[in-house]
Amino acid sequence: LSMPENLHKLFVISSPSGGGKTSLINKVFEDSRSTNFEKSISDTSRQKRQGDLEGKDYYFLSEKDFKEKIKKEEYVEYATVFGNFYGTSKNEIKTKYNNSNLVLELDWQGAYAVKKLFDDAKLIFLVPPSLDDLKQRLIKRNLDSSESIENRLSEAKKEISKSEMYDFLVLNDDFDRAFEDLSQILFKGISSKDFNSRVSKDLIERLVE
């Protein structure tokens, strides 16, 4: 008996740091249509922040254990961000993707690595309406020093310049509209041809200049 074709879908969602993806993704999972969706949880070597839950936000590992898993090639992708390791384990994807649609929250390098392994992965990039908007969000979050905010903004430009490899560009200007766009992609399975993106070429050029 041959294995049935995997009918589930794999989605990768990226956005610049502070781009508001976490609250949008949380809303996706509060939606009743998300019953056959799972979120891929990353491993990280960073310290837990207040309110972080093991196995819900991240799997928290020591740096030593993380490096051990890198050696054994257990990650689809991993990255060091501000001195901490983050990675998506192959096992995490395999286990969940067989049983449900899977959502991964990754940066462009992670998205690229997943696309190489899973050809049919759908890549979604959340685009801020302006760099100033992004800056305000980072200031409001109050997690970063002003120097760190400048770093994140120049990093954001680099990330936005990679958005052309994505299948879907979602404008994250207004939470409800962005969520509606995301719902069409995740829940209604709209194709990238039929998706009416509110992100213009002009906007991308303005953001990365």
Span 76-124, pLDDT tens digits: 999 888 899 999 999 999 889 989 999 999 889 889 999 998 889 999 9
pTM of the entire predicted model: 0.88
Tens digit of pLDDT for each residue in 7-29?
799 999 999 877 778 889 999 99
SS (H, E, C) the chain: CCCCCCCCCEEEEECCCCCCHHHHHHHHHHCHHHCCEEECCCEECCCCCCCCCECCCEEECCHHHHHHHHHCCCEEEEEEECCEEEEEEHHHHHHHHCCCEEEEECCHHHHHHHHHHCCCCEEEEEECCCHHHHHHHHHHHCCCCHHHHHHHHHHHHHHHHCHHHCCEEEECCCHHHHHHHHHHHHCCCCCCCCCCCCCCHHHHHHHHC
What's the chain's average pLDDT? 91
What is the reported pLDDT for 3? 47
Question: Percent of the chain, pLDDT > 70?
Answer: 96
pLDDT digits (tens, 9 = 90+) for 151-160: 889 989 999 9
